[in-house]
Amino acid sequence: MSTELPRRQRATGTRAKICIVASEYNEQYTQALVENCSEELKTVLPSVRLEIIRVPGAFEIPVSIKSVLSRSPEKRPDAVVALGVILRGSTDHADLIGSTITQALMQLALEFTTPVIHEVLLLNDEKQAFARCIASQLNRGREAARIIPITLSSLSPCSHATKSDKPPSNTFTPPPRRRKRNRRESGIS
């Protein structure tokens, strides 16, 4: 686990479309994540077009993201941020939910070749939630926003080719196979 936020990148003029999907459960913490992420996005991507979708709980985040990523290519965001807070209790329920969400978010990122920034936090208690959602040193909302420009710039050739739904222009065509000669043709007896 990181102990500090990544360095803030220089602001770019990139006009990225970003969608934040955040749960309403544990609202004090999730609202702080949304606010911190939104503020930081406007700093690192001043021309950002931001859409915020709220869902009841963390378990609903992946299905909402799938709906967003299933839009037509021109309406699809360049990246999605998943924000939520799951507090552990006395059973394994929180761990099961957290694991399921992680797997679903990774699958969506791979399926749509679109960055899905995963900040659905599985935490032990409210002290950890405060440190990661409200306080500034480890704020995961700010961290998510700082990661987006880096991720977009590193994936831009891949994601733009996929979003345009055009086949890649650098398609490899193998050379024609040479016909093997049999023993008679080669003069070997």
Interior CA angle at 155 toward 161 and 140, to 5°? 140
Q: End-to-end alpha-carbon separation of the chain, Å?
A: 70
- Taking a C-beta distance cutoff of 8 angstroms, is the pair 119, 6 a contact? no
pLDDT tens by residue, the chain, 189 residues: 555 555 555 555 567 899 999 999 999 999 999 999 999 999 988 888 999 999 999 999 999 999 999 999 899 999 999 999 999 988 889 999 999 999 999 999 999 999 999 999 999 999 989 989 898 878 899 999 999 998 888 876 554 444 444 434 433 344 455 555 555 555 555
- Taking a C-beta distance cutoff of 8 angstroms, is the pair 81, 20 a contact? yes
Is position 160 annotated as part of the catalytic site?
Answer: no
The residue annotated as part of the active site, out of 93, 95, 96, 103, is 93
- Taking a C-beta distance cutoff of 8 angstroms, is the pair 148, 16 a contact? yes
